[in-house]
Structure 1
Amino acid sequence: MELRKKSKPEAAAEQSPPAHSPLVRSVVRKGAGMANRLLDHTFALAFRGLVYAQIWEDPEVDMEALQIRPDSRVVAIASGGCNVLSYLVADPASITAVDLNTAHIALNKLKLAAAQTLPDHAQFHRFFAQADSPANIATYRAKLAPLLDEPTRRYWEGRDLIGRRRIGGFSRGIYKRGLLGNFIGVAHLLARLYRIDLARILAAPTLEAQRAVFEAELAPVFDKRFVRWLTDQPASLFGLGIPPAQFDALAGDQRMAQVLRRRLERLACDFPVAENYFAWQAFSRGYARDGQGPLPPYLQRANWQAVRERASRVQVIHANFTEHLATLPDASRDRYVLLDAQDWMTDAQLNALWQEITRTARPGARVLFRTAAQPSLLPGRLAPELLARWRYHARECEGFTARDRSSIYGGVHLYSLIP
């Protein structure tokens, strides 16, 4: 599997999206000022590599909202693949995972190959839950690499910008890599500088104890002058996968430090850490080492056989979501998962997306998405005649938002096609 080492110009070219790429078209705001366009291009460059080794939308909330059935045909933004594979537990007929990010495409294909090939849950768990064992590299070479297509192998066997083989992340902690992994790493560094022991949250035996730790140690950090200044810089949140346009929606008329404090408070205090794997990712940069902690559904032992047997139902496509829908027949899909991608979109892009969703939607279709701010972003932006085709489940959405353990988003939104 040994490949020649890329030169620095080659590595940089592999990471840099061309100006006409779909990723740049999706992120860079037309008509924005020069400074904002420069920020958008910088985000597009950062987003080209691995962003989420684990994604931050709660799949249990997703499955509750989507009501996936055996005849459901799901189209979802792939991201890190955690939710796509977790949806298999609900037994859909098919899932199409679509993404513009080549690293996410490679990660989804690696997870699917492992689910179909590895002989038992123990090896699957070691590879993606522990994700820091040297044995994973031998497993990759012997069992996974031969099944991967050439672009996926080239990605994992290639090197990142500092010369590390990407597959090596699974021997050193893949959840410490990528934009989000690096962002959390910087947060841990700041915590050490302020003498905060983040592990105390994970050791707290009750919700009351979790809150006591948060109020005593974490909350005061957001009043520090340096933290307030740092979080006011849009580029500082690129590690959360938040582009400049979404930064403005998330902050509103408040200081970003206070917005982030409230979101972190939800993560640290509203859910028992024994049941919230997002808290483990935030406060320990991985899952529980003893194998007894919470995990995404696709990694849980009880779901291993279902994920293994149904993995062949997932198709992974490197494409723009709207452009992919345009290739599908009318009334051919019924579950759509948009993550938070609409926060990036112009009104024209939103309308083009929903025109294709509406055209391809079967009776009873459901569309799920998240927003940085609390309200749904469709009213006032989507053409009235298009929005009128869809029912917004306002009361249910309040519950979905409250139960989303990742705690990052302001709103979880569900629309269904009106018969």
Structure 2
Amino acid sequence: MTSASRAIDAAVISHEGISRKGLLERAFAFAFRGLVYAQIWEDPVVDMEALAITPDCHVVTIASGGCNVLSYLTANPRQISAVDLNTAHVALNKLKFTAVRHLPDYEHFRRFFGDADSPANIEAYRQHIRPHLDDTSRRYWEGRDLSLRPRVAMFGKGAYRRGLLGGFIGAAHLIARMYRVDLSTMLTARDMAHQRALFDEKLAPVFDRPFMRWLTSQPASLFGLGIPPAQYDALAGNETMATVLRKRLENLACGHDLKDNYFAWQAFGRGYGKAADAPLPPYLQQHHYETVMQRVDRASIHHANMTDWLAEQADASMDRYVLLDAQDWMTDAQLTALWTQITRTARPGARVLFRTAAEPSLLPGRLPDALLDRWDYRAEESAGYTVRDRSAIYGGVHLYTLR
């Protein structure tokens, strides 16, 4: 077992292997060693509003698929440190950073990471990206996946259909077709009223099917969403998982105009739209291309556990922290260790942003009072961010500021 695999196990596994939860945690940890998110599922526009990034800010974030790391550059931070335990996510971030620097123009960049399904991308990789990749990343992308093709080939055949999340969305489309429902129909909606009508008529009834209720009651069924067993329980709360997922999908389908919601395009179309006015993450929007290219050297990627990485940083050296939903996985001891390092490294005015599967913040009652009292919870603002988050799959978006 590699050191990265052991680190993932340590982050995910908290029960004995012979227990049901222990076996589920080990299965999730095994699945999480590969590519999980080809696209990150936290809204960077909401993030940047909450973080209030200024030109002197050092932002530290969990990297995931790298979309938000590059998108944060549009807010003009001094530095971004992206940290991730997942080898595939680290390789994906390095691929994106290198592509920004060395692909010849926006059209190549949009085709590679926007369309992500053209054989021309493989030639672009060989000609423009490969010569500049570090050895570890090059070995990853040219290594073979389960289909025995080089991993980089996914950008020639539909990158957003790959990874755990891509597989989960593909399975959802397959199950919908079993009930004669085409999920891509949602993308034909003329306006938000039509979105509501299509959801009520086509999608909502699927969640009442006995097979769907049984399937979603199995924690392993949500591994493709990157949801480990511990987070499954928090997501379900006192409701059935079918009910919870129906509400979250309803929010995705009806809560935001699909003309401006690229998360919905990923869910219902399995990729970004190809029209010139299709919604895209900030880093892929043409008017941000020059800015991202000029600032990409401000971003770095680190293959590490967030707590361990912070422990190596100087006191009062960070300004903004983005934890995604990683805390949903953590024990009380792990949360305390993480927030001890956040508090030590935080500069005056520091902000911490994270998401949870359930609605409330998970910190009260789990962090020592003396530690939590160093931070203010911005409850009203957090509720607004939750409503505006276009990914629509989280129960809560939470902002804390250093007192």
Q: TM-score, normalised by structure 1?
A: 0.95
Alpha-carbon distance between aligned partners in 2 of 1:284 and 1:312, rounded to the nearest angstrom: 33
Corresponding residue of 1:253: 238
Residue 235 of structure 1: how far off its partner (Å): 0.4
Q: Does 1:205 align with 2:204?
A: no
Corresponding residue of 1:415: 400
Determine which of 97, 110, 123 is the counterpart of 2:95: 110
Determine which of 384, 398, 411 is the counterpart of 2:383: 398
Q: Does 1:232 align with 2:221?
A: no
Corresponding residue of 1:74: 59
Alpha-carbon distance between aligned partners in 2 of 1:184 and 1:323, rounded to the nearest angstrom: 33
Alpha-carbon distance between aligned partners in 2 of 1:333 and 1:287, rounded to the nearest angstrom: 34
Contact preservation (8 Å) 1:110, 1:144: yes
- List gaps (5 residues or longer) in structure 1: 1-15
Corresponding residue of 2:349: 364
Alpha-carbon distance between aligned partners in 1 of 2:133 and 2:391, rounded to the nearest angstrom: 31
Alpha-carbon distance between aligned partners in 2 of 1:224 and 1:29, rounded to the nearest angstrom: 34
Residue by residue, what CA displacement relative to the aligned partner does 1:96-129 show, whole Å, maximum 9, x if unpaired? 0000000000000000001111121111000000
Output aligned runs, 1:146-295, within 5 Å: 146-295=131-280
Corresponding residue of 1:345: 330
Alpha-carbon distance between aligned partners in 2 of 1:366 and 1:130, rounded to the nearest angstrom: 34
Alpha-carbon distance between aligned partners in 2 of 1:338 and 1:344, rounded to the nearest angstrom: 12
Residue 292 of structure 1: how far off its partner (Å): 2.3
Residue 33 of structure 1: how far off its partner (Å): 6.2
Q: Does 1:45 align with 2:27?
A: no
Contact preservation (8 Å) 1:17, 1:48: no
Residue by residue, what CA displacement relative to the aligned partner does 1:61-109 show, whole Å, maximum 9, x if unpaired? 0000000010000000000000010000000000000000000000000
Alpha-carbon distance between aligned partners in 1 of 2:135 and 2:296, rounded to the nearest angstrom: 20
Q: Does 1:383 align with 2:376?
A: no
Give the AA of the match of 2:63.
A
Alpha-carbon distance between aligned partners in 1 of 2:299 and 2:237, rounded to the nearest angstrom: 38
Determine which of 116, 130, 136 is the counterpart of 1:131: 116
Question: What secondary structure does 1:40 align onto?
Answer: helix
Compare 338-347 and 114-123 and name the one that shifted more. Answer: 114-123
Compare 138-147 and 31-40 and name the one that shifted more. Answer: 31-40
Alpha-carbon distance between aligned partners in 1 of 2:293 and 2:83, rounded to the nearest angstrom: 20
Residue 253 of structure 1: how far off its partner (Å): 1.6
Contact preservation (8 Å) 2:4, 2:85: no
Give the AA of the match of 2:213.
R
Contact preservation (8 Å) 1:17, 1:24: no
Aligned pairs, number: 403
Corresponding residue of 1:3: none
Contact preservation (8 Å) 1:96, 1:317: yes
Corresponding residue of 2:80: 95
Alpha-carbon distance between aligned partners in 2 of 1:412 and 1:252, rounded to the nearest angstrom: 17
Corresponding residue of 1:10: none
Give the AA of the match of 1:318.
H
Residue 167 of structure 1: how far off its partner (Å): 0.2
Residue by residue, what CA displacement relative to the aligned partner does 1:165-185 show, whole Å, maximum 9, x if unpaired? 110000000000000000000
Alpha-carbon distance between aligned partners in 1 of 2:70 and 2:34, rounded to the nearest angstrom: 21
Alpha-carbon distance between aligned partners in 1 of 2:365 and 2:18, rounded to the nearest angstrom: 24
Residue by residue, what CA displacement relative to the aligned partner does 1:246-294 show, whole Å, maximum 9, x if unpaired? 0000001211000000000000001110000000000000001223210
- CA 1:285 to 1:20, structure 2 compared with 1: closer, same or farther past 3 Å? closer
Corresponding residue of 2:284: 299
Corresponding residue of 2:130: 145
Residue 234 of structure 1: how far off its partner (Å): 0.4
Question: What secondary structure does 2:130 align onto?
Answer: helix
Alpha-carbon distance between aligned partners in 2 of 1:138 and 1:360, rounded to the nearest angstrom: 43
Give the AA of the match of 1:307.
V
Residue 161 of structure 1: how far off its partner (Å): 2.2
Alpha-carbon distance between aligned partners in 2 of 1:83 and 1:137, rounded to the nearest angstrom: 24
Contact preservation (8 Å) 2:15, 2:21: no
CA RMSD of aligned residues (A): 1.2
Question: What secondary structure does 1:21 align onto?
Answer: helix
Alpha-carbon distance between aligned partners in 1 of 2:233 and 2:146, rounded to the nearest angstrom: 30
Contact preservation (8 Å) 1:338, 1:368: yes
Contact preservation (8 Å) 1:17, 1:45: no
Residue by residue, what CA displacement relative to the aligned partner does 1:379-399 show, whole Å, maximum 9, x if unpaired? 000010000000000000000
Alpha-carbon distance between aligned partners in 2 of 1:259 and 1:30, rounded to the nearest angstrom: 25
Alpha-carbon distance between aligned partners in 2 of 1:194 and 1:84, rounded to the nearest angstrom: 39
- List gaps (5 residues or longer) in structure 2: none
Contact preservation (8 Å) 1:337, 1:367: yes
Contact preservation (8 Å) 2:110, 2:284: yes
